[in-house]
Structure 1
Amino acid sequence: MKRQVSIGLAVVLLVAVAVAIVTGSGDDDAGQATTVRGVIGSEKAAFFNDQRVIAAFGKHGLQVRVDSAGSRQIATSVDLGGYDFAFPSSSPAAQRIQRDRGITTVYTPFFSPMAVATFAPIADLLTVRGVVRKGPGDYQVLDLAGYLDLAGTRWDQLVGNTAYPVRKNVLVTTTDPRDSNSAAMYLAAVSFVANGNAVVNTAAAEAAVLPAMTKLFLDQGYTQNSTEGPFEDYLAAGMGKTPLVMIYESQFLDRQLRADGSIRQDMRLLYPAPTVLSKHTLVPLKGRGDQVGKLLSTDQELARLAAEFGFRTSDPKPFQQLVADRKLPVPADLVDVVEPPSYETLERMLDAIGKQYR
């Protein structure tokens, strides 16, 4: 009889332990994963959809599900009512959301400088003309002042150009300035140079630079509303379609770090001088959105994974160690960085350019 009781008690204890293992979920008191919904800039979709990232959030009892949209769309036209957090790719877009919703708390867990993806023959052509030069390391720099002097000239008008003698203008391909943050960051950088190397901060300065800035966008023709579009064209269609494309550094590095063959030997990444940092800013809207922001800002595993997707984090060590191990020609620190105009100024310029599309 005593043996039967002992066996019965042992079975009960084993079942209890098994239940505890199955239902235990770290920080989640209920033992169930809580679904948290967010809307993000498209360049972060691969990060959030990665199984390692999903598992890292799962350790804290969260199941994070995301939709993608252009950062300006997130701030201006996306219905945020069904989301727990918004995660655009810039602080100006986040400021708009904060202002509209009276939110004071934000998180900036990682950032990425704006860069220009191109090809070796194009980089060589621009090097001869002094528009591209070597940086302090092995990386290459695109001088924006020299680029603006050349913009509008046809490629086939460049003397001695046999590598890319096409009948279209020298222009960086961007996204649609009405929808996307990367286009806004491009505008911030080129308007700084066009304004005599000063941030545009007056109505007079806006009026002075807008005609040239508008032309840089309108002369491109059709533009897409997310950086994934032109970057995928760059990867798939090659030099003929997009010889120069404005992207986030993280997009290029993400593909290099994957080593999936999408970044070929003739592809190059140029760092504009000056450049602008795209500060990926998470705005918690409700529920567990705040916890997602905290985890992205403090969890070491998530920071390491962010670096593997090409993002620079507040702790520079994971990113710097990764690019050093892979021997990637990436600047450890960026010096020639400018701030974008104020939210109001940038919005006015973007709206003025957007009206010209109609």
Structure 2
Amino acid sequence: MGVVTVREEQAIQRLTDRLVDDYPTEQVETVVATARQRFAGHPVREFVPILIERIARRELAAASVVEGGSDIASAAGTGAKSIAVRGNTGTQANAIRRIVGSGAGKLVADKRLMALAAAVVVLVLALVVGFAVRQPDQPIAAGAAAPGVTTVRGVVGSEKMAFFEDPRVVEALARNGVKAAVDPAGSRQIATSIDLGKYDFAFPSSAPAAERIQRARNISTKYTPFSSPMAIATFQPIADLLTAAGVLRPGPVSTFDIARYLELVRNDVEWDKLPGNTVYPVHKNILVSTTDPRTSNSAAMYLAIASHVANDNTIVQGPAAEQSVLPTVSRLFVRQGYTENSTEGPFREYLSAGMGPTPMVWIYESQFVEATVRGQITPGMVLAYPSPTVLSQHTLVPLTASGDRIGRLLVTDPDLQRLAAEHGFRTSDPTQFAKVTADNHVPVATDVIDVIDTPTNDTLEHLLDGVTKTYN
């Protein structure tokens, strides 16, 4: 079952549970199943659970009105026929039940009350029918947004796709009249090679990438709804080897010493050369797996950290410093072989393939937290924080007025901020992230202290260009 289908099933199960609170279980299941059939085969699924709940409530409320009306008509002796209606909210049915209550005997004894009750039924049903006529159910064309909802197109870093595909996020945006149709891409791709003319917003994963977009398009507005420090995902046997080698410092959260790691890289140390290594005796260099620095922001952040440490823990500035650090930092990338364009790829391999191909993976902290919430992190998987690290500011650049609307919602809407935290991002309210990690027992750094500034965008581009040349 695909990811989208699983989420849709979960959303439908939640709406079914809500309906069962108000209506008989068997009736709810029948109505929901019938409503689902109306959307079978539609390729765009974002609003299906919302529409199913709307239709189901309408049908269930209508059935309740018919049942209540029939009871009153029978008690009053009017011989009124049951009228099937659609488009009610259920409040009329509750009012009818209160009229019936325990007073059915009095209705029989008092003809005037019977006539009044029958009149109420006729009036209520007339109003319901009129409402249904004004709001008929119309088939939803494939790919179309729900009525009153504006589709806003964006291109986002791949690590944010799960957030935008979450039915709860879709629903929260829909409540504000917006549907986000997003395409994934590497953050540097977004800033350098993606045609942004067809999009309403660009949402890379760092301030430097966003800055490049802003400068190229002369845009001053930006939104930073959440952030994530960079991290390393590894496995306990690898962590034990790195601890013995002086690279990893264990604790409540593990710390990965970039300076010690660079020493191993400069000396071409291989895994099977580590003393006492019986758990991973592999004849290849000790390297953290990353994405392609030519297309991906996470790899660019890795380069920023490594260059800082290689430059005697100082931000790289100027041609001389750039040339000095390039021989070291280039090794981190060119010796990996093939690398993917976005962090989703290597992290997915980490989750599925184990430590064989990917003993260490460079990721966003949010990816590990989100995977834990989903139940994808298994015993023996370890999260470590590089020392130093950088805080990746996920920055949205609005390209149109509709894109600006999305940016403002992501920053100000409390539901969207809460859901961002559930997807592992750190928002403006630290208690949201703290609650998610505590509830799901994720060992994260409460305060990320050892954070450096990235080089200027121009310097970072020079370093990336230098690394690119070494590939050739």
SS at match of 1:96: helix
Q: For 1:1-55, what per-residue CA distance to the aligned partner results, in whole angstroms no more than 9, with x for missing partners? A: xx99x968973576359858999xxxxxx96100000000000000000100000
Aligned residues: 345
Identify the residue that residue 100 of structure 2 maps to in structure 1.
Answer: none
CA contact (8 A) 2:245 2:274 kept: no
Q: Specify the code of the residue in structure 1 equivalent to 2:130.
A: V
Question: Deviation at 1:275?
Answer: 0.5
Picking from 203, 208, 212, the partner of 1:87 is 203
Identify the residue that residue 349 of structure 2 maps to in structure 1.
Answer: 233
Q: Specify the code of the residue in structure 2 equivalent to 1:57.
A: L
Q: For 1:71-113, what per-residue CA distance to the aligned partner results, in whole angstroms no more than 9, with x for missing partners? A: 0000000001110000000111100100000000000000111
Distance of 2:419 and 2:137 partners within structure 1: 26
Identify the residue that residue 26 of structure 1 maps to in structure 2.
Answer: none
Q: Specify the code of the residue in structure 2 equivalent to 1:256.
A: T
Q: Specify the code of the residue in structure 2 equivalent to 1:156.
A: D
SS at match of 1:241: coil
Distance of 2:157 and 2:308 partners within structure 1: 24
Higher share in strand: 1
Task: List aligned pairs for 1:124-203, cutoff 5 A.
Answer: 124-135=240-251, 138-151=252-265, 152-203=268-319
Distance of 1:46 and 1:313 partners within structure 2: 17
Identify the residue that residue 191 of structure 2 maps to in structure 1.
Answer: 75
Identify the residue that residue 64 of structure 2 maps to in structure 1.
Answer: none
Distance of 2:129 and 2:260 partners within structure 1: 73
Structure 1 unaligned spans of 5+: 24-29
Question: Deviation at 1:234?
Answer: 1.0
Distance of 1:232 and 1:110 partners within structure 2: 22
Question: Deviation at 1:327?
Answer: 2.5
Q: For 1:167-213, what per-residue CA distance to the aligned partner results, in whole angstroms no more than 9, with x for missing partners? A: 00000111001000000000011111000011111211101001111
User: Greater RCO between the two (CA within 8 Å, min separation 6)?
Assistant: 1
CA contact (8 A) 2:330 2:467 kept: yes
Q: 1:19 to 1:150 in 2, by over 3 A?
A: farther
Question: Deviation at 1:352?
Answer: 1.5
Question: Deviation at 1:141?
Answer: 0.5
Q: Which runs of 4+ in 1 moved over 3 A?
A: 6-23
Picking from 437, 444, 468, the partner of 1:330 is 444
CA contact (8 A) 2:270 2:282 kept: yes
Task: Say whether residues 1:46 and 2:162 are aligned partners.
Answer: yes
Larger displacement relative to structure 2 (66-75 or 319-328):
319-328
Q: Specify the code of the residue in structure 1 equivalent to 2:339.
A: T
Picking from 384, 388, 402, the partner of 1:270 is 384
Task: List aligned pairs for 1:238-249, cutoff 5 A.
Answer: 238-249=354-365
Distance of 2:183 and 2:137 partners within structure 1: 29
Task: Say whether residues 1:60 and 2:180 are aligned partners.
Answer: no
CA contact (8 A) 2:238 2:280 kept: yes
Picking from 219, 224, 228, the partner of 1:112 is 228
Q: Specify the code of the residue in structure 1 equivalent to 2:162.
A: A
Q: For 1:273-308, what per-residue CA distance to the aligned partner results, in whole angstroms no more than 9, with x for missing partners? A: 001111100000013110111111111111111111
Identity %: 57
Higher share in helix: 2
Q: Specify the code of the residue in structure 2 equivalent to 1:291.
A: R
Q: Specify the code of the residue in structure 1 equivalent to 2:365.
A: E
Identify the residue that residue 317 of structure 1 maps to in structure 2.
Answer: 431
Task: List aligned pairs for 1:332-351, cutoff 5 A.
Answer: 332-351=446-465
SS at match of 2:471: coil
Identify the residue that residue 421 of structure 2 maps to in structure 1.
Answer: 307
Identify the residue that residue 237 of structure 2 maps to in structure 1.
Answer: 121
SS at match of 1:239: coil
Distance of 2:211 and 2:426 partners within structure 1: 21
SS at match of 1:153: coil
SS at match of 2:453: coil
Structure 2 unaligned spans of 5+: 1-117, 139-145
Identify the residue that residue 102 of structure 1 maps to in structure 2.
Answer: 218
Question: Deviation at 1:326?
Answer: 2.3
